[in-house]
């Protein structure tokens, strides 16, 4: 099927040429029969992964707003639009990914999905809250992961957050007490499944931005500590969370929002 654009339809050859020009791709999208990354090392990514937890994402998002942080080529932005979201904003720090996302949106007919240069540290400048924040595949690339979650909670999360991080280690769910005496607590740290983040000093998968790899319990603990309640944890690395009605224990994000000129507000 040809895809109508504002000026003319794009045939398969034109789509293939543009996909090649914009490569390499990390999201393997189906652009009217043209796969953007058919030889992906994670196999049909991210559609294959999404199939494992799509059931926990609200099927009906009509009238809702979505912020996709680290949107890459826009797979999750498009999925939320397919579920009826009225406003979808994807941000990424990589101009090539944004160009891929904008082209994919053109081919797929999602001309009202917005893609903008930005990253999680910029969310305070957006000046709006979203019904759903998608924070998938970003946390482990950050030097300061808890600050990122704090900023999301304080500035943009209106209700739900869909979270995912590269995950490794124990999948146990320990009975962590609300408080410990000093020596008892130090011993408790060694129990199987204690919330733990593995630190990557040099590189993982040839990527110098892979800094942290949490275990299953740590994913949940970090999300809770940032002021969210766990709604579902369908896999070790994926969480659907909701903004908690309880006050954030640590007082919120360290960094304030900034206006367009960088001045604190």
The CA–CA distances, whole Å, from 135 to 41, 56, 71, 172, 176 equal 22, 15, 9, 24, 26
Per-residue pLDDT tens over the stretch 145-204: 999 999 999 999 999 999 999 999 999 989 899 999 999 999 999 999 999 999 999 999
Based on its alpha-carbon atoms, the radius of gyration of the chain, rounded to whole angstroms, reads: 20
Phi/psi at 29 (5° precision): -95, 155
| Distance separating the N- and C-terminal Cα atoms of the chain | 49
Do residues 38 and 60 lie in contact, with contact meaning Cβ atoms separated by under 8 Å? no
Specify the range with the lowest mean pLDDT, choosing from 40-54, 75-89, 230-244, 245-259.
Answer: 245-259
Q: How confident is the model at residue 41 (pLDDT cuts 50, 70, 90)?
A: confident
If DSSP codes are grouped into helix, strand and coil, which group holds residue 141? Answer: helix
Percent of the chain with pLDDT over 90: 85
Q: What is the pTM of this model?
A: 0.90
């Amino acid at each position: 099927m040809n895809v109508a654009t504002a000026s003319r339809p794009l045939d398969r050859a034109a789509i293939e040429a543009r996909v090649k020009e914009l490569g390499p791709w990390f999201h393997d999208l189906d652009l009217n029969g043209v796969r953007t990354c058919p030889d992906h090392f994670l196999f049909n990514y991210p559609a294959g992964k999404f199939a494992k937890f799509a059931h926990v994402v609200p099927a009906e998002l009509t009238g809702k707003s979505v912020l996709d942080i680290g949107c890459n080529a826009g797979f999750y932005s498009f999925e939320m639009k397919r579920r009826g979201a009225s406003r979808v904003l994807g941000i990424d720090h990589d101009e090539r990914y944004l160009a891929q996302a904008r082209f994919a949106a053109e081919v797929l007919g999602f001309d009202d999905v917005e893609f903008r240069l930005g990253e999680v540290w910029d969310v305070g400048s957006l000046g709006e809250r979203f019904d759903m924040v998608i924070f998938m595949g970003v946390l482990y690339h950050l030097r300061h992961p808890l600050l990122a979650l704090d900023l999301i909670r304080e500035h943009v999360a209106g209700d739900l957050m869909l979270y995912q991080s590269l995950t490794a280690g124990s999948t146990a769910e320990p009975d962590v007490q609300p408080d410990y005496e000093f020596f008892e607590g130090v011993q408790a740290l060694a129990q199987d499944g204690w919330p733990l983040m593995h630190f990557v000093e040099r590189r993982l998968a040839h990527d110098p931005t892979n800094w942290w790899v949490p275990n299953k319990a740590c994913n949940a603990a970090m999300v809770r500590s940032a002021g969210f309640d766990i709604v579902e944890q369908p896999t070790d690395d994926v969480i659907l969370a909701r903004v908690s009605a309880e006050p954030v224990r640590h007082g919120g994000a360290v960094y304030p929002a900034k206006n367009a000129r960088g001045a604190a507000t």
